[in-house]
């Protein structure tokens, strides 16, 4: 039995979780999140300085709550984990320093986690987690990627967005439609009463320099511009903006693009399992379409539980449990944080001579 205390502070959610692995199964003992969304929404997006301050204020209470709910004392945990990359450096630093301080105080191993590895591990918190190999569609506010997971810790990125991430496109289009931040849940809510077929919208393709397209890559800038043109047209004609129909059409085209390219990629590479994780993976239309399309193509589909799609610390704990199982590894207490780092270099976080 292994228990990890995990912290996540890479962006605008302060989160703490206790996660346990027992006989191969992963259990979330507690998962606490203090969202800063309301405060940031006043500014239309995340303000890094505010994020760091709020993490600092929230963490002590969240840690106390999480320990109480899970009935675990810190000396009885096996390791302390925190997200160290990618993210807002000031925000990451708050979680990392807190985790390293606890690790030093209680003589516990510290495990620095790559945020995307955390998202990948969120599927391990589902009822029946899949075994690798599988293809992951990771769709969040900062990333839209197709990643082949050959084994836990062995990743190859096969596709990516060349401009905005899918979540970013949801956030920007929501703002265009006058809907609140974060855009994903706002668009999903209002799209319920809309007609997803009313507007024809482009499925952005990425051209190859010598001709043809990158089959597994994404582009959302053309779609964003198309939405802007529709809004401008209604405004110029003095007509009321049909927000539910625009939101439903946008949501539908994003879901279709994501699902189509994922299924083609899995089929081309002979992968019989597809996994979907990240904030946008909470979207109901996207979940339904992914399930239906995978079934049609005889692909097994595993979606991260909705509660663990958007940023949380349970997924960071699950990733840390994997790292512990892989090699009993730990990070140096001198490991810092960094705004960006490719996922396939995550192994470097466990070097005893830290890269940063
Ligand atoms: O994974 P996440 O919480 O943070 C990052 O690592 O980026 O993802 C946040 C993103 C935001 O862009 C938000 O608008 C989007 O996920 N999102 C959604 C939904 N819930 C959150 N997008 C579409 N539908 C949703 N239900
Ligand atoms: Zn995230």
Q: How confident is the model at residue 326 (pLDDT cuts 50, 70, 90)?
A: confident
Question: Is residue 330 assigned to a domain?
Answer: yes
Q: pLDDT at position 323, please?
A: 95
298 and 318 co-located in one domain: no
Atom of ligand 1 nearest to the CA of 10: 6
174 and 267 co-located in one domain: yes
> Quick check: CB of 87 below 6 Å from ligand 1?
no
195 and 330 co-located in one domain: no
32 and 65 co-located in one domain: yes
Residue 44 has pLDDT above 80, yes or no: no
Residue 118 has pLDDT above 80, yes or no: yes
Q: How far is CA 202 from CA 36, 224, 284, in A?
A: 34, 9, 21
Q: Report CA(35)–ligand 1 centroid distance (Å).
A: 13
- State the residue range of the domain holding 256: 132-303
What CATH code is carried by the domain that includes residue 163? 3.30.420.40
pLDDT digits (tens, 9 = 90+) for 163-173: 999 999 999 99
Residue to mutate (ligand 1; options 8, 116, 145, 184; most atoms within 8 A of CB): 184
Q: Which two tokens stand for residue 54?
A: 């709020």
Question: Is residue 16 assigned to a domain?
Answer: yes
197 Cβ contact list (under 8 Å, min separation 6): 249, 252
Q: Which two tokens stand for residue 14?
A: 């302060």
Task: State whether residue 283 is helix, strand or coil.
Answer: coil
Q: pLDDT at position 235, please?
A: 97
Q: pLDDT at position 328, please?
A: 78
pTM value is 0.97
Q: pLDDT at position 345, please?
A: 93
pLDDT digits (tens, 9 = 90+) for 185-232: 999 999 999 999 999 999 999 999 999 999 999 999 999 999 999 999
pLDDT digits (tens, 9 = 90+) for 284-318: 999 999 999 999 999 999 999 999 999 999 999 99
171 and 248 co-located in one domain: yes
Q: How many domains would you assign to the chain?
A: 2
293 and 174 co-located in one domain: yes
Q: How far is CA 16 from CA 55, 74, 314, in A?
A: 11, 13, 7
Return the percentage of the chain with pLDDT > 90, whole number: 94
Residue 42 has pLDDT above 90, yes or no: no
Q: pLDDT at position 163, please?
A: 97
Return the residue whose CA atom lies nearest to atom 26 of ligand 1: 283
Beta bridge partners of 244: none
C-alpha–C-alpha distance, residues 267 and 281, integer Å: 20
**Contact between 328 and 21 (Cβ < 8 Å):** no
Residue to mutate (ligand 1; options 310, 314, 319, 339; most atoms within 8 A of CB): 310
Return the percentage of the chain with pLDDT > 70, whole number: 100
Looking at residue 42, the DSSP 8-state letter turns out to be T
Q: How confident is the model at residue 134 (pLDDT cuts 50, 70, 90)?
A: very high
Residue 46 has pLDDT above 90, yes or no: no
23 and 140 co-located in one domain: no
> Quick check: CB of 282 below 6 Å from ligand 1?
yes
**236-254 average pLDDT score:** 98
pLDDT digits (tens, 9 = 90+) for 62-115: 999 999 999 999 999 999 999 999 999 999 999 999 999 999 999 999 999 999
Mean pLDDT of the chain: 96
**Edge-first strand listing for the sheet containing 300-303:** 154-160, 144-151, 134-139, 273-277, 300-303
27 and 75 co-located in one domain: yes
Q: pLDDT at position 308, please?
A: 98
Question: Is residue 21 assigned to a domain?
Answer: yes
């Amino acid at each position: 039995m292994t228990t990890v205390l995990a912290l996540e502070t890479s962006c605008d959610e302060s989160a703490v979780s206790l996660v346990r692995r027992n006989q191969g199964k992963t259990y979330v003992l507690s998962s606490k999140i203090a969202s800063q969304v309301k405060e940031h929404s006043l500014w239309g997006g995340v303000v890094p300085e505010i994020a760091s301050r709020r993490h600092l204020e929230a963490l002590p209470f969240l840690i106390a709550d999480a320990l109480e709910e899970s009935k675990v004392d810190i000396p009885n945990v096996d390791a302390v984990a925190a997200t160290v990359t990618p993210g807002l450096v000031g925000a990451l630093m708050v979680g990392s320093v807190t985790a390293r301080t606890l690790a030093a105080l209680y003589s516990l191993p510290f495990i620095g986690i790559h945020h995307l590895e955390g998202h990948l591990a969120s599927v391990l918190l589902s009822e029946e987690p899949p075994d690798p190999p599988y293809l992951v569609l990771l769709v969040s506010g900062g990333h839209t990627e197709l990643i082949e997971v050959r084994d836990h810790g062995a990743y190859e990125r096969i596709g990516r967005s060349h401009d905005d991430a899918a979540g970013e496109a949801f956030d920007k289009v929501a703002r265009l439609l006058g809907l609140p931040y974060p855009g994903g849940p706002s668009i999903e809510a209002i799209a319920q009463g809309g007609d997803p077929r009313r507007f024809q919208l482009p499925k952005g393709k990425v051209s190859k320099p010598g001709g043809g397209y990158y089959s597994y890559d994404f582009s959302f800038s053309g779609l964003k511009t198309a939405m802007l043109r529709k809004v401008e047209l209604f405004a110029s004609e003095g007509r009321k903006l049909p927000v539910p129909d625009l939101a439903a059409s946008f949501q539908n085209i994003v879901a279709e693009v994501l699902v189509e390219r994922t299924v083609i990629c899995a089929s081309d590479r002979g992968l019989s399992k597809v996994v979907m994780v990240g904030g946008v993976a909470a979207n109901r239309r996207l979940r339904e379409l992914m399930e239906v399309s995978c079934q049609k193509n005889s692909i097994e589909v595993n979606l991260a539980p909705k509660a663990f799609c958007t940023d949380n610390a349970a997924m960071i704990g699950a990733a840390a449990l994997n790292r512990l199982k892989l090699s009993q590894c730990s990070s140096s207490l001198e490991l810092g944080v960094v705004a960006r780092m490719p996922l396939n270099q995550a192994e470097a976080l466990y070097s005893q001579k830290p890269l940063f």
